[in-house]
Chains A and B, each alone.
Chain A
Amino acid sequence: MAERALLKQLEAEWAAETRALAEARPAFLSSGRPPIAATPLALAAQLEGILERWQAVRGSAEGFAERYANAAWTVKDMVGHLATWAAEFRRECETVLRGEGFDYAIPFALSILGPNEWNNRQAEAQRSVPLRALLDAFEADTRFLQDLVLSLPEPALYGEARLPLAPSGDPQALFRGSIAMVVLGKCTHDAYHIGRLAALFERWSR
């Protein structure tokens, strides 16, 4: 059989089968609950996406480590920021799982985007850590969380606990959430920063 004829046959069969397997809308839109990508597999897939994007920027991060990513932080500082938060997200999940409380708070102060004061303190603390160690730590903590969401029973994944985040700025007003929410927050946080780094590296490489 000629290759072109075979390809035509395959394309026709694929079109017919996928038409038959298609449907109008997913079941979760009819469930009455807001669709949140926080099932164990959806969380694991989003973390896998983060790791894939991380791999794509890793090499450039090493090449551009000392360049300033914004007015205050170098690329290495940004990597340190991501590694710091990866460790923090992991610590929060482990503390919740042990059934313990938090003896610290991360107030969002007057910042719109995040806890600036806490972030700056952490950035300062990790400046002496070698870049490679930060890159590896981020990856290891992300993989840890990935296995965690895949292995936890649902009550543990979705059970509510008091977390150290204090979005109002008041250290006494701690945020209530689940491990699933912590991981979802990590995905949003990491996707934002890695996306920013990727855009910078693309511009600098032109």
Chain B
Amino acid sequence: MTPAPNPSPERTVLRARARGEVSAADSFEELYALHSGSVRAWLRSRVPAATAEDLMQDVWLVFHDRWRRWEFRPEMEAEEARPVLSFLFRTCHFVLRGHFRRRELRGELPIEAADDVDAPTGILRMERAADAGNALRLAERVCTAEERDVLLAKLAGVPAREIAGALGITEAVVDHRFRDALARLKSRLAPKPRARKGGGRG
């Protein structure tokens, strides 16, 4: 008999909260400890670190409010479901949209240039930025912002359907962007063929 797979840490918290074994306040802090790293990394891949910290508060304020009225639905029990992580990913992108829209309304940037002008800090901590061969750092350089959004959501474990909903694209596009990101990284990380000694001119 195959043992049942271990539930994800998120599901463990959700179940405990649904059964009333843990308070809304304590479970909120558990979820914060569990997902704050992902939320911060998603934001930092889009905006500078100081801005990311401000937006982080907005994302968690929205979740804090929602968590008090959280609806525990049966489909959230599915093995691959990550309802809280998905909610945070969606909220993250709503907050980012609002951030760029606010700058646009203030005349700080044209609509199309929103992503380019607001140079992101990067997913990685600064001290690790020099790591050679780090695929995440490479993704910051070679993948488009749209590909990175999908790649980082997938790495965090957000289901494709939720990524599609949050970004306003289809699941097929999610898959396409993910494959494109991997292909770019693969080709850059592939060992370069050694140059022949003595050059090629004979």
Contact = CB atoms under 8 A, between A and B. Distances in A.
Interface stretch (B7-15, B35-43, B76-84, B194-202): B35-43
Interface stretch (B16-24, B87-95, B110-118, B169-177): B87-95
A31 to B, nearest CB: 10
Nearest to A22: B37
What bracket does the count of chain B residues touching chain A fall in?
Answer: 35 or more
Interface string B90-109: 11001101110110011000
A42 B186 CA distance: 38
> Majority SS of interface residues in chain B?
helix
Contacts of A3: 182, 186
A76 B135 CA distance: 52
Contacts of A13: 134-136
B136 A24 contact: no
A63 B38 CA distance: 39
B102 A40 contact: yes
Nearest to B34: A22
Interface stretch (A43-51, A89-97, A131-139, A172-180): A43-51
B39 to A, nearest CB: 9
Given A6-B186, A18-B38, A22-B37, A147 B58 contact: no
A200 B32 CA distance: 33
8 contacts: A19-B37, A22-B33, A22-B37, A28-B60, A39-B57, A40-B98, A52-B94, A151-B106
Give the 9 A-B residue pairs with the shortest CB-CB distance, closest first.
A18-B37, A22-B37, A44-B98, A45-B94, A48-B94, A37-B65, A14-B155, A21-B37, A41-B58
